[in-house]
Amino acid sequence: MDNILNLFKILSQGLSTTILIFILTLLFAIPLGIVVAIAQNSKNKILNAITKIYILIIRGTPMMLQIIFVYFAPYYLFKLSYDRFLAVIIAFVINYAAYFAEIFRSGILSIPKGQKEAAFTLGFSKVQTFYIIILPQVIKRILPSMSNEVISLVKTTSLAQIIGVTEVFALAQKQASFQFSILPLCIAALIYLALCTIITFVFNKLEKKFSYYTIT
């Protein structure tokens, strides 16, 4: 029992890093994803093409490779080095923004065009129409997909160790090697499971809140 409590204490040192990666990624990736989704639906062919290429590259390459590229590319290309944690955040934001963009884009396209036309008839501007009429309905429709991506983000934070950022899984691996035991990995699994359970609970609450926008 003492060993288990000690392991929880040790792994909790990396939990703050895991949570920080998670929060900062969401904080920057969701707004960027909305911008990319709007750009992808733009009538500007150049802007549309750039966003499609960006999403294609991100979805077509491993996250692990993206993290390594973001951290090492500036050094090999320009002899510039910077903080490992910052590199992780940049890589995660770039990656998840692409996936969030696809989710937002599909949500926007699912809204009937007649609602936009009705809003314009009532005197709403394009910005007002998007944020007051369209966005609340989009959020309701994309919540299940967003839930999957956010839960995936929790587990993907373990990839931060690739460039030496110490988080929960990195500490668990070190303890497992040191103790010749699978127990540290089991405790890490429980921590990830607890985080995912909390996120699932939050999204269930959000779905109930936005059920007001369900069209019957």
Range of weakest confidence among 41-50, 73-82, 111-120, 151-160: 111-120
More confident of the two residues 27 and 121:
27
Residues with Cβ within 8 Å of residue 70, at least 6 apart in sequence: 87, 90, 91, 94
Answer for the pair 73, 97: CB distance below 8 angstroms, yes or no: no
More confident of the two residues 206 and 64:
64
**What pLDDT score was predicted for residue 178?**
84
Answer for the pair 19, 86: CB distance below 8 angstroms, yes or no: no
Given a cut of 70, whether residue 112 has pLDDT beyond it is yes
Maximum distance among all alpha carbons in the chain? 70
More confident of the two residues 134 and 1:
134
- Rg of the chain over Cα atoms, rounded to whole angstroms, equals 21
Q: pLDDT-derived band of residue 55, with 50, 70 and 90 as boundaries? A: very high
Given a cut of 90, whether residue 176 has pLDDT beyond it is no
Q: What is the DSSP letter of 20?
A: H
- What's the whole-number mean pLDDT along residues 41-45? 82
* Residue ranges of domains in the chain, CATH in brackets: 2-104+113-213 (1.10.3720.10)
**Which stretch of DSSP H or E encloses residue 65?**
helix 63-78
Given a cut of 70, whether residue 207 has pLDDT beyond it is yes
**What pLDDT score was predicted for residue 214?**
52
Given a cut of 90, whether residue 154 has pLDDT beyond it is yes
Q: pLDDT-derived band of residue 29, with 50, 70 and 90 as boundaries? A: very high
* Averaged pLDDT of the chain: 87
- What's the whole-number mean pLDDT along residues 190-200? 94
- The pTM of the full predicted model, rounded to 2 decimals, is 0.88
Given a cut of 80, whether residue 148 has pLDDT beyond it is yes
**What pLDDT score was predicted for residue 212?**
60
Q: pLDDT-derived band of residue 50, with 50, 70 and 90 as boundaries? A: very high
The 3-state DSSP composition of the chain as helix, strand, coil percent (nearest 5) reads 85, 0, 15
**What pLDDT score was predicted for residue 93?**
97
The DSSP line for 119-180 is: HHHTT--HHHIIIIIIHHHHHHHHHHHHHHHHHHHHHHGGGGGGGT---HHHHHHHHHHHHT
